[in-house]
Structure 1
Amino acid sequence: MVNPPSLLNIVLRYPASLNMQFSGRSAGYWLQSPKAQKRIRTVPGSCWPCRSRRVMCDLQKPNCRKCAKADLPCNFSKRLLKWQDSLASRGHLAGKNIPVRDSTSRRDSAPSQELGISTLSASQQSAFDYFRQKVWPLLFVGGVESSVPFTLALKSPPLLLAILALATTHKAIDSPTDELWIECEHARLACISSLRIELAKGTKEEEQSRAIVMTSIFLCMLDGYLNPQDGMAATIEHQLGAQAVINILGGPLEAISRAAPNELILLSEFASMDLSRALIIGERPYIAPELWSKFDAGRSWWEDIGGEESPAAIFKELAKMAHYALDLADNPESEVSVEKVLGFESNLQAPLKEVSLYSVMHDTTEDLAQHHRYMEAQSLFRAFRYCALIYLYRAICKLPTHHKLVQQRVQQCLESLSMLSEQAGYQTCALFPYCVAGAHSIADFHQETVTKNLDIIEIQLQFGNLKVLQSYLRTLWQPGRQAGDWFHMFKDFSKGVYIL
């Protein structure tokens, strides 16, 4: 396992110049309110009388002190109903006063304002809404539902800036202009500068540490998913920084056990991209194999389909094989254990539950939709299984790319991926299977299938790592480039690019 550096080393690795203003804009620029000069008296969650009077509410429930002192009816309800003096003339409310307007109607508020982000500027609120609608759903499959960590972001400048940077960068990729690209680079540097300042203070509270972990994960996604640069070292520093803070929180097990649902989704994403990167470049994964089952106890980026099957079991085997492959590399004189290989193969060939047409003939529309989601998830899980078997045959058993067993798994992996629809979101979480199957595709029709599907996913995701992956596969498909073992095949793959 790679030992993450201390927080001090992480701080020192970020350039000190990032604390200064760049291109005329500092980190404070991205956090300032549109009316920064005007004093904001109210606090999020205030009761309605304190909001209307523009005074600081102490949030004491059921009656705050300000309302008690002013002899006002304290009201912490989410919606404020206003009443008129006329009486209802008919219906079950006949003879009673009736509400005529909901002052917190959705038509009167922007989505970000409903979340309590009224102190942000219009452009910042727009970026939050863009992130919530366009970026956040791309990080997990369609059946998973989770809220964006806005509450924590409002308390943490680095996390807030990371969300703004992700939104701005994705928007720049989707609708590229020179102005937007300059804007997203400013946002990224502002986030790194703010993170460096926060790290220099030292992590004193658990909530602050959790926010720094999430910020580092978002920066990994920004530099490793959305806008990767070949040979970019910053992505690795973000990853090591997240690992260092996770260790301060008590280690991966403690962080997973105490994480909120949306934080757990990010941790599962972080663990998955760390594992895929470790497998490709030949390093030991950060998350221990036995910890993968912990993700099934809560929220994760994959959908819980209610069966016995889960990617966590596959990732556990992949992590075990990654450690074993490196153990063999560290001890060249040791021989491959046939017993271990057969054990890995047996665990990765566990049959999945089949859903027959007869079993769903009399189901309702809702049941059929559930079966459809199950079949999609099953196909995604199978694709990961076949990838794991390819790794077993290539990285541990040292079989050549053209070997019958390898090509059989390539065929099965691509067949499983072909079962994924574009709408459900499963395609966007299948880049690692496409990478592995694509790298080992020697038939022209397999290569054409991979190219076509990656083009479709690129339109959906708008992530820069797709372009890096496509370019690498085209290079790999040239004559003579697929020779050698697993590690030789991926030796030129950029270490600063993450795929899932």
Structure 2
Amino acid sequence: MAAPPMAQTQLGADMKAPPPAATATGQQEDCPTCVRRRIRCDRSLPLCIKCSKKGLACPGYGPRLRWANGVAVRGHLKGRTTPYVEKAVKPSASSKNPPFPKATKSPETESIPRPTASLIDPLERLFPGFPEPATRLRLLEHYDQNIAGLMVWIDSDKNEYRRLVLPLANRQPVLLLAILAISAQHLAVTTNVESDFSARARDAAVTMISSQIRQVTGRLADGFDLASEIDVDTAVWMLASMLTLASYEMAESESGAIAADSHRQAARTLVNALATTNRENNDLFNFLRNQLSIYDILASTTSFNSLSTRGAILPAPDHSKHIFSEYLSVLQQITVMSWQHWGSDSSTEPGVRRLPWSPADARARFELARGSTLMAAGLLELCWDARRRDFIRIVDIYHHAGLLYTYRCLFQGHVDAADVSASATVLFERLSQLEDHASCRQNLPWPVFIAGTECRGHRERETFVANLYEGIARCMGFKHYLEILHFLKDLWSCEDHDWLELARRYSANGNPILAV
């Protein structure tokens, strides 16, 4: 499938904004919120600036999309009906105060009529060819059943992608487009049914995100305060869309790392720009920030870019309840120290400079992080079954993969060979002991990559790693992982077994390694 050229989501991207919404008569309508406030709407897309500055919810223009029974927060959307549209509320000429729309009933009691031919889906005007409700619902069900679980450490009823992100997509067309894009692409990869819809939805979502960013940056250039320009809801849907699009790019092609990295950098820029504003009380923003932190820190271990490494998004300060947050903080410290020690002042011999940590220091910090992760995971109250046993193994897998990364990246092999061998042995043992691969496969790309860097010349281990990565790519539907396997096979076949140097060459040639 030939995908259209990738549109960048970098701040300030020069892209053409989508046309303003219009009514069936060709005249653009004010958003219902401005209508109720009896003020002139500026009609900006995707949200009007007047609503954003007041922290009000802007439902958009013209007909509004609403789910008949709401998006399921648990399960797999079983029994849900298709979406329909309702007309925007207009003020009565004889009424002193404009009427408010009726309150939405609970999903359990609401009875909703089916859509009629006279009502036009607002997304159809923004994105001609947008799939009909039945296809839309099927793609959302596929996301719920087959993708949301791949985005978190442990899939459970507390999965925020089902509990919070899917309902948000009901209110935000751009996020909905991004979710439908990755769902359509994943479905095409796993069923071999090609369609151009996913790429078109991706490009439409990127264009609308870029348009919103251009509006915000233009207002900032005029001296407006960021907190008044981006409300929490806007920041959340933009961040969720960027992360979803990054995942889409890795599913779309083996060479999707560069496009995915552009979305990651844009998401990082957005989070850093909002660092001084108050977002602490928004659970979804904090969750997405920590999701970006996982992606950012693991990607930094193989990016070999000083700006990318030093500017990585760290876990939120109060991260005691987030799985692997302490581990990721330690890993990022090691990556930064490695860059400062081995990639800075070339006039000084590396052996003369003193490393801030010893191997024993690194092992002690990883041990503390392991305990913190197990305590945080206890909040999920997993039953004592294969999934729980596998998660404990995953914690061990990351522990020893982190040590091996540290030994090679920070200490450059100047460490006791027995320590390296011991961690490699446990790493391969734990990987071979996993019982339910389907429930933990999403956690394996990075540690299996590290395992692959430690098995050159060991044919049995090379075959084991190759089979794991092929299974990861096939079952998860992410073609990008095949590029990681290609890198490992190159490493195994070359005389120099320094994976760091080979990864630098890959990055220099425009093929960055992103084992995330």
Shorter-chain TM range is: 0.5 to 0.7
User: What is the Cα-based RMSD across aligned positions, in Å?
Assistant: 4.2
CA separation of 1:242 and 1:133: change in aligned 2, threshold 3 A: same
- Separation of aligned partners in 2, 1:444 and 1:265: 41
| Equivalent of residue 79 in structure 1, options 108, 115, 133 | 108
Identity across matched positions, percent: 13
Shift of 1:368: 9.3
Partner of 2:460: 445
Partner of 2:515: 499
- Separation of aligned partners in 1, 2:278 and 2:501: 33
Partner of 2:247: 221
Partner of 1:294: 318
The 3-state SS of whatever aligns with 1:296 is coil
Please report the TM-score for the alignment, with normalisation by the length of structure 1: 0.68
- Where has structure 1 moved over 6 Å in runs of 4 or more? 41-46, 54-58, 65-69
CA offsets per residue over residues 414-456 of structure 1, 9 Å max, x none?
A: 2122232335621221210001111221211111111222233
Partner of 1:266: 288
**Amino acid in the other structure paired with 1:321:** I
The 3-state SS of whatever aligns with 1:370 is coil
Shift of 1:43: 6.2
What pairs up with 1:37-436 in 2 under 5 angstroms?
A: 76-80=105-109, 121-140=133-152, 141-143=154-156, 145-146=159-160, 147-178=163-194, 180=195, 182-202=196-216, 204-206=229-231, 207-223=233-249, 225-230=250-255, 233-250=258-275, 255=279, 257-261=280-284, 263-283=285-305, 284-287=309-312, 291=315, 294-297=318-321, 302=323, 311-328=324-341, 329-332=343-346, 333=348, 335-337=353-355, 339-349=357-367, 369-370=383-384, 372-399=386-413, 403-422=417-436, 425-436=439-450
- Separation of aligned partners in 1, 2:243 and 2:16: 22
CA separation of 1:55 and 1:129: change in aligned 2, threshold 3 A: same
CA separation of 1:171 and 1:227: change in aligned 2, threshold 3 A: same
Shift of 1:11: 4.7
Q: Is the 8 A contact 2:253 2:480 kept in 1?
A: yes
- Separation of aligned partners in 2, 1:220 and 1:41: 28
**Amino acid in the other structure paired with 2:255:** D
Partner of 1:92: none
Shift of 1:219: 1.5
- Separation of aligned partners in 2, 1:215 and 1:74: 28
**Amino acid in the other structure paired with 2:404:** I
**What is the aligned residue count?**
400
**Amino acid in the other structure paired with 1:271:** S
CA separation of 1:414 and 1:456: change in aligned 2, threshold 3 A: same
The 3-state SS of whatever aligns with 2:433 is coil
Partner of 1:112: none
**Amino acid in the other structure paired with 1:173:** V
Point out the more displaced range, 156-165 or 339-348. Answer: 339-348
Shift of 1:57: 8.1
Gaps of 5+ in 2: 1-7, 20-45, 47-61, 70-85, 91-96, 116-122, 124-130, 218-228, 372-380
Shift of 1:287: 4.0
Q: Is the 8 A contact 1:18 1:192 kept in 2?
A: no
Q: Is the 8 A contact 2:177 2:201 kept in 1?
A: yes
2:493 is aligned with 1:478? yes
Shift of 1:376: 1.9
- Separation of aligned partners in 1, 2:174 and 2:491: 39
- Separation of aligned partners in 1, 2:257 and 2:475: 25
The 3-state SS of whatever aligns with 2:436 is coil
Shift of 1:410: 2.0
- Separation of aligned partners in 2, 1:267 and 1:347: 23
The 3-state SS of whatever aligns with 1:397 is coil
Q: Is the 8 A contact 1:219 1:238 kept in 2?
A: yes
Shift of 1:76: 3.5
Shift of 1:293: 5.7
Partner of 2:59: none
The 3-state SS of whatever aligns with 2:354 is coil
Q: Is the 8 A contact 1:11 1:196 kept in 2?
A: yes
Shift of 1:169: 1.0
Shift of 1:411: 2.0
**Amino acid in the other structure paired with 2:179:** I
Q: Is the 8 A contact 1:407 1:440 kept in 2?
A: no
| Equivalent of residue 462 in structure 1, options 453, 459, 477 | 477
Please report the TM-score for the alignment, with normalisation by the length of structure 2: 0.66
Q: Is the 8 A contact 1:168 1:184 kept in 2?
A: yes
CA offsets per residue over residues 123-162 of structure 1, 9 Å max, x none?
A: 2222222212211111112345332513332333321211
Point out the more displaced range, 377-386 or 192-201. Answer: 192-201
CA separation of 1:171 and 1:320: change in aligned 2, threshold 3 A: same
- Separation of aligned partners in 2, 1:168 and 1:497: 25
Q: Is the 8 A contact 1:390 1:409 kept in 2?
A: yes
CA separation of 1:330 and 1:254: change in aligned 2, threshold 3 A: farther
**Amino acid in the other structure paired with 1:243:** R
- Separation of aligned partners in 1, 2:256 and 2:473: 21
Shift of 1:470: 1.4
CA offsets per residue over residues 331-366 of structure 1, 9 Å max, x none?
A: 34251337544311222245968xxxxxxxxxxxxx
Q: Is the 8 A contact 1:273 1:498 kept in 2?
A: no
